[in-house]
Amino acid sequence: MLAFIVIYAVILVVLGAFIGRKAKSASDFFVAGRNFGSGLLFTTLIAANLGAGSTVGVTALAYTNGLSAWWWIGSAGIGSMILAFWVGPRIWRLAQKHNFYTLSDYLDARYSRAFSGLISLMMAAGTLALFAGQLLGIAWILEVAAGIPKTQGVIAGAVVTTLYFAAGGLLSSAVVNIVEVAVILAGFIAAVPYVLSFTGGIEGIREAVKSETYFDAFGMGSGAIIGYLVMLVPSFFISPGLIGKVFAAKDERSIRIGTAMNGLVQLVFAVIPVIIGMACFAAFPGLSRADLALPTAMKEMMPFWAACLALAGIFAAEVSTADTVLYMLAGSLVNDLYRRFMNPKISDRKLLLASRSVSLVCGVLGVILALRLESIISALTIFYSLMSVSLSAPLVFGLFTRRAGNFGAMVSAVLGAALTVWMTFAGKTFSVGGIVLNASTCGIILSFVVMMASLLKKAPAPKESGQEF
């Protein structure tokens, strides 16, 4: 299996480097020349969205919680539909008109440089945690399947991802994603009949588990499900990485079709890792870590050829999302912070070189952080919580009402994030009508309330609010 993965990884790096030769400008690196049709937009979005959380993470959730683990990817699919039909086309028109490379470019023009800088700093910190989560996913797979220690697995994932992404940015990753998506879907579809056969089908899982809650779509509890919806639905229509890919579309029709296809595939795909996790629990209920459920199922419940294909699919899923995370990091650190605040006159060639260099540095930092995090879901929760709480209200109100101003955006982001951090570290929750709301849910509710309250004051001047949008 190890030889199979090594060969596959080399193919990805070589293909990325070959395509990367066409990246001659910052526009090619960040928005791929704004020439994506619906097919290429679909593959690069779905490759970004089927990563460590949707594979290793959701299988672990299903191993512990059963059928209700569907809500993790299901929430992402719902958010993708909002991006396809409402947020995506609207913000794309602005990107075309004003030549935006990143979401922060929009926030700068819509609100202020200070607000875009604040969000870029917050996103850089959260995105590094997300990248570390993807590397953890790769490491768990390689550890169980090939006996590679966690440290070496994390380093291997970082090397493959950073090499092919740094070569050509979005242009390289979009083409490599075509190969990765094909392998992901083939690998996971091939896995399902074997894990069900191993356990005697759904009835065999029911017989082994003997818990109705485990087979209940709401079994993990309303509070947890609401938390996923509030945290993840916005994350998939405000994510800087996903919006940056939307900016690369050639027209609005491509956005609607490509992004909606991505959402539909997520909603269907969500069932697969859930089935694998539940089957693994029925067969191997005593695993030391839930994160080991997917690689254990792959190693113990499938024939060798299917296990190799599944392993390639999992590796492709983690790597494809990791390159999107590097794309977000390069955008935040180079375009949104360095160029905007430190070197606004930087040449296009130097901006491209800086983006490649920063991608390599972030690869090293991601390795260091991954070795300190306990689980994939904990890493992803840091990112999604921070992003949803700070960005959802300013982006939604900024796109759909001209009354939204810089002051309201700043206060809503800061207060929402502050409440989330405090509740998380203090271990606090809030109960309404018997429903327990977690830290990120309370934070995002507060940010929307503050943003709505800011609309009650006199409409801000066009210069402050970006009313030309």
Dihedral angle sign, alpha carbons of residues 270, 237, 341, 330: positive
CATH number, domain at 347?
1.20.1730.10
Q: Tell me how far CA of residue 43 lies from CA of 38, 94, 260, 356, 365, in angstroms.
A: 9, 23, 12, 23, 28
State how far the alpha carbon of 383 is from the alpha carbons of 8, 53, 321, 359, 374, in Å: 29, 12, 14, 18, 15
- Whether residue 166 is contained in a domain is answered as yes
Residue 98 lies in a domain: yes
| 154/9 Cα distance (integer angstroms) | 14
Count CA within 13 A, CB hemisphere, residue 367. Answer: 18
pLDDT digits (tens, 9 = 90+) for 277-318: 999 999 999 998 898 898 889 889 999 888 888 877 877 777
One digit per residue, the tens of pLDDT, for the chain of length 469 reads 667 777 777 787 787 677 666 667 766 767 777 889 999 999 989 988 887 778 888 999 999 999 999 999 999 999 999 999 999 999 999 999 999 988 999 999 999 999 999 898 887 877 887 788 778 878 877 776 678 888 888 888 888 878 766 665 666 677 777 887 888 899 899 999 999 999 999 999 999 998 989 999 999 998 889 989 998 999 899 988 899 899 999 999 999 999 999 999 999 999 999 999 999 999 999 998 898 898 889 889 999 888 888 877 877 777 777 777 787 788 888 888 998 889 988 888 888 788 878 888 888 888 888 887 666 666 667 777 888 999 999 999 999 998 999 999 999 999 999 999 899 888 888 888 778 888 989 999 999 999 999 998 765 554 444 455 6
Q: Measured between alpha carbons, how far is 443 from 367 in angstroms, rounded to an integer?
A: 29
Instruction: Look at residue 318 and tell me if it is in a domain.
Output: yes
Beta bridge partners of 435: 432
**For 178-195, what is each residue's pLDDT tens digit?**
887 888 899 899 999 999
Residue at 454 is within a domain: no
**Per-position b or e across 431-446, b if 16+ CB within 10 A of its CB:** eeeeeebbbbbbbbbb
For residue 269, the model assigns a pLDDT of 96
Q: 95, 108 in Cβ contact below 8 A?
A: no
> Is residue 373 left, alpha or beta, with left meaning phi > 0 and alpha meaning psi from -120 to 50?
beta
Token pair of 107 as six digits: 């926030």
Q: Would 270 be classed as within a structural domain?
A: yes
Q: Does residue 412 form part of some domain?
A: no
Distance CA 405, CA 211 (A): 51
Which amino acid, 375?
S
Angstrom distance (rounded) from CA 343 to CA 348:
12
The pLDDT, as a whole number, for residue 323 is 74
* Residue written as token pair 């790096």: 13
Show the CA angle centred on residue 54, arms to residues 356 and 81, nearest 5°: 85
- Short-list 184, 166, 215, CA closest to 352: 166
Nearest residue to 444 (alpha-carbon basis) of 465, 466, 423: 423
Looking at residue 93, its pLDDT comes to: 95
How many independent structural domains does the chain possess? 1
d(CA 164, CA 148): 22
Tokens of 53: 């959380």
Mind listing the pLDDT tens digit for each residue in 96-113?
999 998 899 999 999 999
pLDDT of residue 374: 62
Are 27 and 33 spatial neighbours (Cβ–Cβ below 8 Å)?
yes
Domain residues for the domain of 133 are 2-375
Residue 163 belongs to a domain: yes
Residue 433 falls within a domain, yes or no? no
Helix orientation angle between 304-330 and 38-49, rounded to the nearest 10 degrees: 100
Torsional sign, CA 179, 185, 189, 191: positive
- The span from the CA of 327 to the CA of 94, in Å, is 21
Give the pLDDT confidence score for residue 65 in this predicted structure.
96
Residues 6+ positions from 140 with CB-CB distance below 8 Å = 56, 150, 153, 291, 292, 294, 295, 376
Q: What does residue 431 show for φ and ψ, rounded to 5 degrees?
A: -110, 130
